[in-house]
Structure 1
Amino acid sequence: MRAMTYDRFGGTEVLSGTRRPLPRVAPGEVLVRVRCAAVNPVDWKIMSGGLKDMIDTVFPVVPGWDVAGVVEQVGIDVPECAVGDEVIAYARKDHVHGGTFAEYVSVPVRCLAPRPAALSWEQSAGLPLAGLTAYQTLVRLGTGEGDTVLIHNAAGGVGSLAVQIARTLGARVIGTASPTNHDRLRELGAEPVAYGEGLVERVRAIAPQGADVVADFVGGVVDATVGALAEGGRHASVADPAVLERGGQWMWVRPSRADLSALAALADEGRLTVPVAEVFPLDRLAEAFALNQAGHTHGKIVVTP
């Protein structure tokens, strides 16, 4: 099969197009023919060696954890799936090796769910990692009806999904973003505030009691989080372990068939959408990574093999 791989840590220069054997399909796994795979910052951070002390790496690596595709083969003991099923997955395994930027990928059944019919293939590929990050953070914090939720980096890939999910949970949402993104946040159902100096005062001006829940999807905002938090409020960060010292939770997204199915259901109900910024062919993955690194896109970057 065609795949993009790297055999050493580095920047986009280490990526190359190669031919790889089809992945083996272990018990509890399926083989997915990739229709689309989405880029996430973790992909190039792993490639740079940024997580080498946390996750074992087996070279050569096919990067990528997000996928939307069709089940091509079913392993032993997988009653949940059949050949021809359209699925999405956050295809993270216990080590880094066989990822989604290829024509095929093997996926543990615990990582996948049926593809939402309301989304395109490109949108479907962009949902798993970002959607699960937002959903699991908000659910673990007990977000519910009547809560005021402050979302840091609300216009980002994870943040924009978190705004929509928090609204479906019945919460009022305040989102930080640059002024150029405020209209976009209003369209998603959030009350925008500018980030930076004076953030706590701006939040308190529209929510005097503070935020019941604060979700940090950018990092470096612990002081602002605590300052904006209501008495007895809950907070978490996916980017900053310093929250542990301030009574918060440090989150890392987990593969979950149940949670991914819940997100797909929200999409099919018309309550959750995934913006797509640009689509690249597989052999231009280095360009897709570079665009994601620049951080100026409004929506997911998707690759199609």
Structure 2
Amino acid sequence: MAPAILTPGGSYPSSTNLLTLARSAVITASPHIARSVLVRRGGLGVTDAQKVTLGIIAAYVVVIAILWNVPYIRWVLWPFKMLVIAFHEFGHAITCVLTGGKVKSISLDPREGGVTHMQGGKNGLTLPAGYLGSSLIGALLTFAGFNINASKVASIVVGVCFLLTLWWGRRDLLTIGTVLAAIGLLVACWFIAKAEALRFVILFIGVMSSLYSVWDICDDLILRKVNSSDASVFAKRYGGSSQCWGVIWSIISLCFMAAGIVAGIAAFPQSAEQQREDSSKFIPTKF
């Protein structure tokens, strides 16, 4: 991943209570989910529906690893790779703005990676925010993938992000066509088994976003030892080695993914039938 380009300056603004906003969003999406979280205090048992979800996550890990490294077949991942590169750059950009900086431009290219040009902000936070931000987004999507209604909300956000990749990304026919096809897939999944198919797509994107961060760090800093990276810039400014920071960020990324899975198990114990019933009452579709 190409490093973020920064200039000095910036200060912190006041913070927002994200926990309160997240809790309100879950309650709005499905009151039944909120009641389940409050009632379920006896421990983290894994339901049959959750066992299926965990098996799908494990399968996705294997499938993505294969698709990522097999020539020609890996083009299947093209629109999703565009999206996770966008998540990486959004992490830089959002953190820059939150720490008092200004985003001058964002460019996305699945062949060469992305670049965010920023002015100001706190560099100690904006540099790791690309990897860690995309991993956090991946964890949140994995969390949402445990429940149909949560996946509906997440799919709207993902759809907007796909459109933003067309705005900032390389505008060739392959990119435009595959991204539009991915948006079409999201829309179609709303009408399959009361949107149950939608959560499997959200799960796929979440797992890929989490794994992409780890893979990119390892590929750039451990396997190929690319000099130009967020971690190498961070090491030059704050000490240590790029490999050391890459390993630390990889561990944090994996912790985010694990936390997303545990949170999904804790928050969404409903059976598949219960989820379909809830889905029929929240932004319902005819099928």
**TM range, normalised to the smaller chain?**
under 0.3
Higher strand share: 1
Higher helix share: 2
Q: Structure 2 length as normaliser, TM-score?
A: 0.27
Q: Structure 1 length as normaliser, TM-score?
A: 0.26
